[in-house]
Chain A
Amino acid sequence: MTAASYPGRWKRPPLFIRSRATRLLVYGGLAIYLLLALSTVEVNWLRAYEGLERGWRFAQGFLLPDFTSRWRDIATGIQESLTMTVCSTVVGILISIPIGIGAARNLAPMPVYLVCRAIIAVSRAFQEIVIAILLVAMFGFGPFAGFLTLSFATIGFIAKLLAEDIEEIDETQAEAIRATGASWLQLVNYAVQPQVMPRLIGLSLYRLDINFRESAVIGIVGAGGVGATLNTAIDRYEYDSAGAILLIIIGIVMVAEYVSGIIRKRIQ
């Protein structure tokens, strides 16, 4: 048989939507929807022009940040935020570990699995601000509500990712430990923990970072921390103080990022 009798052209078969008509309909429909949706967005150009002025003052605040006149408020806010962040991360992780183990299909029996997955789903369904508003209403203004909010959010985040990591462990290592006659706790300690530990530490550091940033946001709805200070500064049109606060937040986040990078590298 000669080479000429084989086709010289090959096209990748469509794998996602097989029928050509359906494909056109779906993609075409999406494009039309996007166009229609864009056309309904109303932009008040006059208002945007007026806002430019305010935006410029904000930017100037950044260029000439005022750390001194509100320093006491800022310092208290930062301190509150850091306390909230550290406490909520530690407490959140301590609670996440058993929930994460329970939510791993290869370790937990079905009923436990379902309960733990439900807890994770609830924690992930609500954005931090929604929880913060609820908890501020329950416990009053201040960092305690913020601490609870961030702990709750941490549970959903860490437990879910930990459970997924546990489900992806190398099963042969677990099988070998099981074969020695190890109990369930020993199995977790000897076969699972060594495999997931580096990632758990990495995730925890990442969450610490997120919690600090979130503490600035939830402060705006009254859950304490530097967010409350920032909110006050903006309300009073003190953009230079607000700029100072934002610069401090950026600085702390960058330091945290740098340190966690070093730690992650060393624990591989």
Chain B
Amino acid sequence: MLRVSDLTKTYKTGDKALKGVNFTIPAGQVVGLIGPSGSGKSTLIRCINRLVEPSSGKVYLGDLDVTAMPRGRLRTARRRIGMIFQEYALVERLTVMENVLSGRLGYVPFWRSFLRRYPPAYVSNAFALLDRVGLIDHADKRADALSGGQRQRVGIARALEQDPELLLIDEPTASLDPRTSRQIMRLILEICRERQLPAIINIHDVLLAQAFVERIIGLRAGEIVFDGPPDALDTDALTRIYGEEDWAAMRKQADDDASDDAESAAQAREAASRLARIA
């Protein structure tokens, strides 16, 4: 369970990124965090594991007051919070396995991580997770040898290797094509359900968010202006979050795209096989 109360963040430049944010996420709930660029979404999730230091307010993970932890002991809090990133943020020159095992860095002493001698339980867990995300055959490859969707799966496995109590997910699909985006979102949702994991997903694609998450929080200029189920996110709410726009047209467009999608997927497959023949 995650509880955030009166969280504020003022950057050194004087920009107020967050102005007193309050919410609670019960176990197993997946929340979509939407809002225009610069509304503080990214700052908010980074304040939760203190990659960004909040200016005031509290973050509770279960009973643990994350904001009160001294810097030196922060790792014991961070290792309980898994994070998934926009551009995957894998260490490109390390192998897939090393990337997954790096999820355990907060649990092992330096010499073990330096010699890559992780306890057997962690290693078998890493293999199990790679199998879960469908990449067990790629364990020994370097991370930069994988495609975007595969990399994001490794990112998910790394976060789960931490055995987290909470997932923070920053724009998981921003650099993926529509089909892979949906697959990744589905995978994240399945995993959260399997493990009763609460998660916050920072996401730009409103329709994708509505299709997958069970609760949406809308952020505008550092304040929560919407908090409710995806169905309640109507034209009014969208205007409150993003400002004036022809929202009905966006939905209609999306319906048209959905039928186009099938067509373009077929085209993409054909193009890929052509490329394969050339190579």
Chain A interfacial positions (CB closer than 8 Å to B)? 170, 172-173, 175-183, 185-186, 189-191, 194-195, 197-198
Contact = CB atoms under 8 A, between A and B. Distances in A.
17 contacts: A172-B86, A173-B89, A173-B90, A176-B83, A177-B102, A179-B49, A179-B51, A180-B103, A181-B80, A183-B75, A190-B91, A190-B94, A191-B91, A194-B92, A195-B92, A197-B93, A198-B93
A182 B93 contact: no
Given A173-B91, A190-B91, A195-B91, A179 B83 contact: yes
Given A175-B51, A190-B102, A190-B113, A181 B91 contact: no
B158 A180 contact: yes
**Most chain B C-beta atoms within 10 Å of own C-beta, residue among A177, A180, A185:** A180
A141 B91 CA distance: 49
A181 B106 contact: yes
A189 B93 contact: no
A179 B78 contact: yes
Interface string B78-109: 11110101110111111000100011111100
Contacts of A191: 91
Nearest to A175: B51
A198 B76 CA distance: 32
* Chain A binding surface, main DSSP class: helix
A197 B104 CA distance: 23
Nearest to A172: B89
Contact of B105 (A170, A172, A183, A194): A183
Contacts of A173: 89-92
B51 A172 contact: no
Given A182-B106, A183-B110, A189-B114, A177 B81 contact: no
Contact of B110 (A178, A179, A186, A197): A186
A180 B78 contact: yes
A37 B242 CA distance: 66
A107 to B, nearest CB: 15
A175 B92 CA distance: 14
Contact of B51 (A170, A178, A197, A198): A178
B162 interface: yes
Most central of B76, B91, B113 by chain A CB within 10 Å: B91
Contacts of A186: 105, 110, 113-114
A189 B93 CA distance: 12
A114 B73 CA distance: 27
Nearest to B74: A181
Given A183-B75, A186-B105, A176 B94 contact: no
Contacts of A172: 85-87, 89
Interface size class of B (residues with CB under 8 A): 20 to 34
Contacts of A183: 75, 105, 110
Contacts of A175: 51, 85, 89
Contacts of B75: 181-183
A185 B112 CA distance: 12
Most buried by A among B89, B104, B110: B89
Given A186-B110, A189-B113, A190-B102, A181 B90 contact: no
Contacts of A197: 93
Contacts of B74: 181
A46 B5 CA distance: 89
A180 B77 CA distance: 9
A177 B98 CA distance: 11
A10 B158 CA distance: 54
A176 B105 contact: no
Contact of A195 (B85, B87, B93): B93
Leading 7 A-B pairs by shortest Cβ distance: A181-B106, A181-B79, A176-B89, A182-B105, A181-B78, A181-B75, A194-B93
Given A179-B81, A190-B98, 10 more contacts: A176-B155, A177-B105, A178-B51, A179-B168, A180-B162, A181-B105, A181-B162, A186-B114, A194-B91, A195-B91
Contacts of B162: 180-181
Contacts of B114: 185-186, 189
A181 B164 CA distance: 11
Contacts of B80: 181
Contacts of A189: 110, 113-114
Nearest to B76: A181
Contacts of A185: 110, 114
B164 to A, nearest CB: 10
